[in-house]
């Protein structure tokens, strides 16, 4: 069949566009809404995940490779994505961790001196599906009004029974197990060693590790399955609880170990690590309606009486502050807790991402405050 000079060929219920890898696809949300577009990157199996949105204008490769996005279908609200391509230097892990990517328009001809491949080729290389041609801002409005939902991206006509089965079978409870390191490993700073940190890996970003290394920290990275005895036997100067995916309430055994370790060593945490600390000391967390994801979230540092613009990626927040903790940071938009510190013990955490990858860089000072706590100082 020929339309407007372009040859189309029907393959079952899929329409391919010769020479452009064109294939119709659709996102089906669990509330029944359907967004139609075209798939790019990997075009094989149906993809099921939690549909979220991120408001960052840049940093798509950091977002895709951030282990905190494991199990999620990421919608980018900025209309043109991929204009500077992909480079391997800025990736945050060894592979794409997001389930799929939804964009309005992927750039066809990326142009940057660091570009090593286009976005579509990178998705294809890692077997990840992309969906383009979607009105991503309309989709974002739906997620803001209704809340985060599960969704299916498919190139086929699915029955209601098939859709229901795929959505009900999806679970992200084992997310941390999937993204944590399988074995212990060490990272040594290039310069003078300032301290030794145990990094309890729940899905850590490479850039976070690099910030500690730049500050002279020797890092011993432990898997999620690490025990109290294994961590304690390292005789480290402090424990760092990393970022990661999923619900912190699914990690009660980790919280118990953290509570025990708090009596013997300083502890610092980012994002999921912050939430785990809350559970360890008797606090609780709750799921946000649509989460905080992007590079433009204002946070007030109460101690410094200043507002910084932060990068964020979380669906859960601390809603009941432990009695032994005090709030150090507040989200300006919704007043949720963005940081806390123990009243008597050397323990500090933040909900947002101070590593500024992909940005902004307002909060890099948090790493210095972390190390001040580890070395026996204070977080202010």
Tokens of 228: 């109290």
Which of 30, 42, 217, 271 is labelled catalytic? 271
68 cis-preceded (ω within 30 degrees of 0): no
3-state DSSP helix/strand/coil % of the chain, to nearest 5 = 25, 35, 40
Task: Return the closest-CA partner of residue 224 out of 250, 196, 194, 202.
Answer: 202
20 is an active site residue? no
Which of 50, 292, 353, 379 is labelled catalytic? 353
Which of 30, 62, 355, 369 is labelled catalytic? 355
Name the helix (H) or strand (E) containing 186. Answer: strand 185-187
Cβ neighbours for 291, distance < 8 A, ≥ 6 positions apart? 52, 148, 313, 314, 315
- Inter-residue contact 189 to 371 (CB < 8 Å): no
CA torsion 103-109-114-120 (nearest 10°) is: 40
- 3-class state of residue 299 by DSSP: strand
Tokens of 65: 């490779």
115 is an active site residue? no
Task: Return the closest-CA partner of residue 306 out of 379, 351, 258, 363.
Answer: 363
Determine the Cα–Cα distance for residues 359 and 211; give it in Å rounded to an integer.
14
353 is an active site residue? yes
Determine the Cα–Cα distance for residues 243 and 34; give it in Å rounded to an integer.
32
* Size of the chain in residues: 380
Determine the Cα–Cα distance for residues 261 and 233; give it in Å rounded to an integer.
11
Name the helix (H) or strand (E) containing 167. Answer: helix 160-169
- Inter-residue contact 316 to 285 (CB < 8 Å): yes
360 cis-preceded (ω within 30 degrees of 0): yes
Cβ neighbours for 309, distance < 8 A, ≥ 6 positions apart? 295, 296, 297, 298, 299, 360, 362
Active site residues: 271, 353, 355
């Amino acid at each position: 069949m020929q339309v407007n000079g372009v040859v189309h060929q029907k393959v079952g219920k899929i329409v391919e566009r010769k020479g452009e890898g064109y294939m119709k696809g659709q996102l089906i949300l669990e509330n029944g809404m359907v967004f139609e577009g075209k798939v790019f990157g990997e075009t094989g199996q149906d993809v099921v995940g939690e549909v979220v949105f991120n408001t960052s204008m840049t940093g798509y490769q950091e977002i895709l490779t951030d282990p905190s996005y494991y199990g999620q279908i990421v919608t980018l609200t900025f209309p043109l994505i991929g204009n500077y391509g992909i480079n391997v230097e800025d990736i945050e892990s060894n592979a794409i961790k997001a389930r799929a990517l939804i964009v309005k328009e992927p750039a066809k001809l990326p142009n940057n001196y660091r570009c090593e491949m286009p976005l579509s080729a990178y998705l294809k290389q890692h077997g990840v599906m992309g969906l383009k041609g979607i009105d991503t801002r309309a989709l974002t409005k739906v997620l803001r009004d209704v809340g985060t939902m599960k969704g299916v991206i498919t190139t086929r006509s699915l029955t209601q029974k098939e859709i229901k089965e795929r959505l009900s079978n999806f679970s992200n409870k084992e997310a941390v197990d999937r993204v944590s390191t399988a074995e212990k490993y060490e990272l040594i700073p290039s310069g003078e060693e300032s301290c030794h940190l145990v990094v309890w890996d729940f899905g850590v970003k490479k850039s976070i590790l690099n910030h500690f290394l730049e500050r002279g920290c020797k890092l011993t990275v432990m898997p999620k399955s690490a025990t109290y005895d294994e961590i304690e036997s390292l005789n480290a100067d402090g424990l760092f609880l990393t970022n990661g995916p999923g619900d912190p309430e699914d990690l009660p055994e980790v919280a118990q170990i953290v509570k025990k370790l708090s009596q013997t060593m300083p502890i610092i945490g980012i994002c999921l690590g912050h939430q785990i600390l809350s559970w360890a000391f008797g606090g609780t967390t709750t799921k946000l309606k649509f989460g905080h994801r992007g590079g433009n979230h204002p946070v007030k540092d109460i101690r410094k009486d200043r507002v910084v613009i932060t990068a964020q990626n979380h669906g859960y927040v601390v809603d009941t502050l432990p009695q032994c903790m005090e709030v150090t940071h507040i989200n300006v938009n919704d007043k949720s807790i963005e940081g806390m510190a123990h009243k008597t013990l050397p323990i500090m955490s933040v909900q947002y991402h101070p590593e500024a990858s992909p940005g902004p860089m307002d909060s890099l000072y948090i790493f210095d405050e972390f190390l001040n706590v580890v070395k026996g100082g204070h977080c202010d």
